[in-house]
Structure 1
């Protein structure tokens, strides 16, 4: 498994090595020792979750207040465009974003440290996304920013087919900046 740094401080890509033969393939999807060697410790990983989305669906942009939430994200079936935005006030990459294609061919995992907004769009007919999360979900800490916020100007590759009511009514990027005490975006 190879590990690559990204342009966002602390965000890593884990690239497993699939082994193919006449039966199909085998790949290790997580190795705690390799993760720890690169500064990632999800502890006992409090929660594993999975979502299934249809083509064009957007989920996000979601984050957590308080201590935040670290997660390891992978696309187990299909293809997604994954978006991460750094909202850590003291980060050198505050306000910057990363776009990564995750799919069921390359098996790349995206490590998203605490203090990030996260979202994705399903690019295939269906996409199953798996999350390994470092602590239990606490709904009172949920934060979100609109997926179509004009200040973020995310160029989603497909027409948007469905978003949840929560995501459609999420606050703006400027509202989040104000809440964080930041005046730049």
Structure 2
């Protein structure tokens, strides 16, 4: 039976889930999510409402994205290719507020990252093409979506490749210092 190992990261609430595939002559099988295990680590698995997927070309950066109001928790994995996945802690009062951590996700590792509400998320595609699968705990609300500049010098994410392409929204994204007031004290409070 396939199992999943869970490890905590430097940023409180961010978890890395690493499946251990069972391999045989047919290939392999891996459990990529286990609701009971997630609950053991504080993830409210029953809150996930939406699954989405995106495809990105090598060098594309998506993010940094955060949701205002109550925030949004995500479980992210790379189902094809490879990504450099970034989480930025924007929870007011957190000891790692404003700090970021990066994780390599790939189709080979099957690794997932749980991103709690109150953290911004972004990634860069490392291979051509790369597919990102998201499990999200809120319905999409464009009015609550906020982008922060991927190259904000106050955050200073070290993207591994030159940035090949950004969406128009991400190109116009302001620095965190310009939108900090929109995040409010409730972000990440639940």
Q: Same fold (TM over 0.5)?
A: yes
- Shift in alpha-carbon separation, 1:89–1:44, aligned structure 2, 3 A: closer
Correspondence 1:97-116 to 2 at 5 A: 97-116=100-119
Is residue 2:174 matched to residue 1:171?
yes
Q: Determine if the alignment matches structure 1 residue 19 to structure 2 residue 22.
A: yes
Shift of 1:96: 1.1
Unaligned stretches of 5+ in structure 2?
186-190
1:52 and 1:180 mapped to 2: Cα distance? 28
Q: Distance in 2 between matches of 1:94 and 1:17?
A: 32
CA distance, structure 2, for counterparts of residue 148 and residue 162 of structure 1 = 13
The one-character-per-residue Cα deviations of 1:7-26 (angstroms, maximum 9, x if unpaired) are 00100011111111111110
For 1:129 and 1:83, the matched residues in 2 are separated by: 13
Q: Which residue of 1 aligns with 2:188?
A: none
> Structure 1 residues 173 and 40 mapped into 2: Cα distance closer, same or farther (>3 Å)?
same
Are the equivalent residues in 1 in contact too, given 2:68–2:182 (CA < 8 A)? no
SS in 2 for 1:16: strand
Number of residue equivalences: 182
- 1:118 counterpart residue number: 121
Aligned residue for 1:93?
A: 96
Q: CA RMSD in A?
A: 1.4
Map of 1:155 onto structure 2: 158
Off by >6 Å, runs of 4+ in structure 1: none
Name the SS for the 1:149 alignment partner.
Answer: coil
- What is the CA–CA distance in structure 1 between the aligned matches of 2:155 and 2:64, rounded to whole Å? 11
**What secondary structure sits across from 2:20 in the alignment?**
coil
Please tell me whether residue 68 in structure 1 is matched to residue 61 in structure 2: no
Q: Distance in 2 between matches of 1:34 and 1:179?
A: 34
C-alpha spacing 1:67/1:181, structure 2 compared with 1 (3 Å): closer
Deviations 1:50-71 (CA, angstroms, capped at 9, x unpaired): 0000000000000001110001
Q: Please, what TM-score do these two structures have when normalized by structure 2?
A: 0.92
Is 1:33 matched up with 2:36?
A: yes
Q: Secondary structure of the equivalent of 2:45?
A: coil
